[in-house]
Amino acid sequence: MPAPEITGGPSRGSTGRGGVLDERSFAVAGSGRSTRLSGALVRVAGLIRQPSKPSAGRTQDRGLFVGDDDVRQFGIRIHDRWTAMWNGDLDLAERIMAPEFTLRYAQPGTEAFDDARTPRQLADIIAAWRRSRPGLRFEAEGSPVVDLRSAAGGAPIGLVARPYRAAYPDAEGRPVARSGTDTLRVTDGLISEVWSVSSGVGGRTFYR
C-alpha cells in the first residue's frame, strides 16, 4: 500500500502507512523448553491464539501455545492489522511495527515513505496520505503466503505476503479499484521491513 492510481503523495519530509500482556514464559514449539518473553516480544502475544488444550505438535507453558497453525495465523493477523492501520487505525503502528524499520515502495509518489523509520513517523505520514485521498479503502485479497517460524526466543520471524485491493472514488465520484501486493518481513514478532508494489496508474485489479 498505498493506492496505486492516486499520484502526488505527501512530499519528502511531510508528516503522515495483540494486546499487551505481562512478562511470561513463552513455549517454543518442538523444543521442550520455554524462554522468557519481555519488552517488544510481549506485544506479539495478543496476536497468537490460545487454544483451550494442547494438541499434537504443540508445547504448552502457562496457557500460551505456538505451533505451525499458530504461526500461520499470526502471519495472517499481522498482515490484517497492517491493512487496518492503512485504513486509519493508526494506534496499531506502535503495536505491530518494529521500533526502527525500512519501507521499500516501488510506485510513484511514495518518496515520503523512504524517510519513515519509526512507528510515529509512519502513522503521521499515513494520516496525511488519507487526508489527501478521501474515501480510500484497502482490503486484503487472495491467499496469504506465510513463511514464518518461531525463533529461539519464541517470537515469529520470516516473511508474509498478500495481495490487496485499493478502492476510492475518482474526481467525478466514480468508483476506481487497483491491486497490489505487500510483503512484510517480521522480526521478533514485529514488522521490520516492507516491500510494496501496485498496478500503478491505469492498472487493473487481480480479481475481477
Residue 25: CB atoms within 10 Å: 13
Domains of the chain, CATH where assigned: 24-198 (3.10.450.50)
What value, to the nearest 5°, has the Cα angle with vertex 117 and ends 114 and 119? Answer: 125
Looking at residue 173, what is its pLDDT? 86
Contact 96, 78 (CB under 8 A): yes
Going by C-alpha positions, the residue among 76, 80, 54, 52 that lies closest to residue 67 is 54
Three-state DSSP class for residue 116: coil
Give 89-98 pLDDT, tens digit per residue.
Answer: 999 999 999 9
Give 153-181 pLDDT, tens digit per residue.
Answer: 788 999 999 999 999 888 888 888 899 99
Q: CB-based contacts of 52: which residues, under 8 Å, 6+ apart?
A: none
User: Which of the four pLDDT bands, split at 50, 70 and 90, describes residue 207?
Assistant: confident
Contact 175, 181 (CB under 8 A): no
This prediction's pTM: 0.70
Beta bridge pairs of residue 177: 167
Give 96-132 pLDDT, tens digit per residue.
Answer: 999 999 999 988 888 888 999 999 999 999 999 899 8
Give 28-82 pLDDT, tens digit per residue.
Answer: 333 333 333 334 444 544 554 443 343 333 322 223 345 678 999 999 999 999 9
